[in-house]
Each structure stands twice: as C-alpha cells, then as structure tokens.
Amino acid sequence: MIQHLVDGILVGSILSLGAIGLTMAMHMLRFANFSHAELLSIGAYCALVFDGVFTAVYAPLGNVIGPLSLTWALSLAILVSMAITGGSAILIDRLVFSRVRAKGGELSMVFASFGVAMIIRNALGLIFGLQVQLYSKDIVFATVLSRDPLLLVKPDQIFSLAAALFIMVIFHLMLSRTTFGYSLRAVAENPDLAQVSGINLNQMITLIWIIGGGLAAAAGVFYGLTNQVNPVLGRDLLLPIFAATIVGGIGSIYGAALGGFLVGIASNMALLILPSGYSPAMPFLIILVVLVIRPTGLFGEERA
C-alpha cells in the first residue's frame, strides 16, 4: 500500500516533467501534440550518446556519483540533452507545426503530430537499433526505508524525484519572478491581449518549445535511468502524460505538475484492485473520471 504510493510518486515526477511542456504547448498552440512524448525519447538517446562521448573524452567522468548509478558524464549529458532536445522541438515546429499552423486548421496539427511522432520513433529505431539500452548495467539495490510496512526505494529514483522537483522549482521561480515569466503567463492567459501589450508571440512560442523540450529531455533521461532506454519509450509514456495534462487542466502548469503525480499514484495503486493486465488502461480511466467529475481538470479554465 505505502510502497505503491511511494512508487507512484517516484514515477509521477517523470510524468510531471513531460506534462508541463505538453500543457503549455497544447494551451498556447491549441492542439493535442501526439509527438510531445517523442521528445522524451530524443532526450534519452541524446544523453546516451553524450554520456558515451564524455566518458570517452575524460574517463574519470565515468565514475558513479555516490550511491547512484548516475555518472558525472551522464549528469553533464543531461544538460546537453536538454539543450539539444529543446532545439529539436523548435526545429520540428519550424519545419512542420508552424507551417501547418500558417495553412489554417489547428486540428490538422493534431494529425501532423501523429505523423511527426511516427517519423521520430522509427528514425530512432533505425539509428540506435530496436533493442534495450541502459545507461548503466549495474543494478543498484534499493534501500529499505522501513521494514514494517515494507518500504523500498532505489537511490536513482530519489535522485530523479529530487532533480525533477528542483527543475520544477526553478521553473516556478522563473514564471513568478521574471518579466519573461510574466509574459509567458500573459500569453498563456490571453494571446491576443498579450500581443497588444507588446509581447512577441513568436518569441514566446519558441521559448515554450525550448522549455517543453528541455523538460521532456530531463524526463526521458530520468526514465532511462530508472527503467531503460528504447525507441518506443515515448509511445509508452504518451497516454500517461496526456492523462496528467487533462487531470491538471490543459494550460495549467502547476496542474500538470500535480497531475503527473496523481496519475503516477493512481496507476500504481490501481494494481491493488485490478489485475495487472489492465494497467495500460489506467490512464484512460483516469481521463474518463476527470471528464465526468471535473471536465476542466483540477486547475483548468473553461475555454472554447
């Protein structure tokens, strides 16, 4: 029981990071981006490459940090990966989404994102192979936090949670303390009015992709660190991330963060009631419940 709750929180932090970027893009550009989760894959593979590069360049970077399986090289790689993934997100927007947007039909964007997701996923499979990859093959044993009730936690997971929270706090400070955060929120509230007030919408869109991509990359690496890296990890995380976004309410950044944790917890707790075979359906059930009880999500506002 407690174990499932804690596990849910730990998994949830990854979903939160993914959902924050998704909710921003969905709100501002008004389309359900089915390719957002692929940014997690790009991030994970990017870190895999640079982890290798850094270790090759300067071997001591390959040492693990404390009780983690995380190496210094990989922690540097995370930063690089966040930048590159943010860049890829902009590139995808420039190449595809902005053009489709310009042609009209915001709903065409939804389908364009289907296509983009398919291309990214299979390109990754082609480049890196379809097999499972790991940042580190060592198995780090879980620490026993409590014997009764039994509560086990892996150091890597604690790190992922802490790092995710850290990133979220920084992001929060940025939103609430900087001009740039104000502009971002203004755009999110009302794009037209924001433009009238002299905010450059295009700049803001670029920014949202950088932030969304960066957060997704971090989520992807944390996922890889606590699970594994494979070309379909984005597809596997797509529905849970969407669920987190809807639970939080589309457009609400804090809602998305909280939504991630809620979806993580609910998915883990579900096993107490449902046979495990049904777990992929959990995110959908969560979406359904939210739509019935509170269609705008926890923090969302009604908007046509």
Partner 1 sequence: MIGIISYLIFFTTVAAILSIAVLGLNLQWGNSGLFNGGVVAFFGAGAYGTLILGGTSQTAHLGGFEIFYPLALIGGMVTAGLMAWIVGILTLRLRHDYLAIATFGVAVAFENLLRNAEGLAGGAQGLRGFERPLHAWLGDGFTYNVFFLIFVLVLLGATYRFLEVLIRSPFGRLLRAMREDETAALSLGKDPAKIRLTSLIIGSVIIGLSGGLYATFYAFISPQDVLPILTFQIWAMLIVGGAGNNKGAVAGAFVIWAAWTASGWGLSRFAPLEIQLYTGSIQFILIGLVIVGMLLWRPQGLFPEKLVISQSGRTNRSENRE
Partner 2 sequence: MNRQAKHTALALGLVAGMVGYGTSAMAQDCTNKIGAVLPTSVDWGKPIAATAQYVVDLINEAGGVAGCKVELVLRDSQVDPKVGVDAAKALVDLDGVQILLGAVSSGVSMPILTSVTAPAGVMQMSCCSSSTAFTGLAKEGKTKGLWFRTFATSGVQAAVGAMVARDKAYKSVAIMYKNDDWGQDIGKLIAGDFEALGIKVTGSVALNDGQASYRAEVTEALKGQPEALYMALYPKEGTAAVREWLSLGGTQNMIVANSLKSEEFRDNVGLKYLGNLVGTDTASPRSQSASAFVDQYTAKFGKAPSGPGLSNSYDATMIALLAMEAAGKGADGTKIASMVSKVTDSSGTPVTADAAGFKKAKDVLAGGGSVFYQGATGNVRFDANGDVSAPAVTWGFSDEGTKELTFISLTDVDSFIASMK
Binding site for partner 2 (CB under 8 A): 3-4, 7-8, 10-11, 48-49, 52, 128-134, 137-142, 144, 152, 154, 223, 226-228, 230, 232-233, 235-237, 240, 267-268, 270-271, 275-277, 279-280
**Residue 149, preceding peptide bond in cis (omega within 30° of 0):** yes
Enumerate residues 249-278 that contact partner 1 by CB under 8 A: 250, 275, 277-278
- Based on CB atoms, which residue is closest to partner 1, 57 or 280? 280
Of 57, 115, 146, 177, the residue at the interface with partner 1 (CB under 8 A) is 115
Of 79, 118, 140, 232, the residue at the interface with partner 1 (CB under 8 A) is 118
CB of 207 to partner 1, least distance (A): 21
What DSSP line would sit under 183-218, residue for residue?
A: HHHHHHH-HHHHHHTT--HHHHHHHHHHHHHHHHHH
**Residue 231, preceding peptide bond in cis (omega within 30° of 0):** no
**Residue 226 contact partner, candidates partner 1, partner 2, none, CB within 5 to 8 A by sort of partner:** partner 2
With a CB cutoff of 8 Å and minimum separation 6, the contacts of 240 are: 15, 263, 264, 267, 283
**Residue 3 contact partner, candidates partner 1, partner 2, none, CB within 5 to 8 A by sort of partner:** partner 2
CB atoms within 10 A of CB 255: 25
CB of 59 to partner 2, least distance (A): 14
At CA 171, angle to CA 302 and CA 155, rounded to 5? Answer: 115
Strands (E), 10-65: none
Handedness of CA 269, 272, 273, 275 (dihedral sign): positive
Pairing of strands 151-153, 143-146: antiparallel
Instruction: Give me the amino acid identity at 16.
Output: S
CB of 253 to partner 1, least distance (A): 17
Enumerate residues 225-254 that contact partner 1 by CB under 8 A: 239, 242-243, 246, 250
Residues in contact with partner 1 by the rule CB under 8 A: 26, 30-32, 34, 96, 99-100, 103-108, 110-112, 114-119, 121-123, 125-126, 239, 242-243, 246, 250, 275, 277-278, 280-281, 283-285, 287-288, 291-292, 295, 303-304
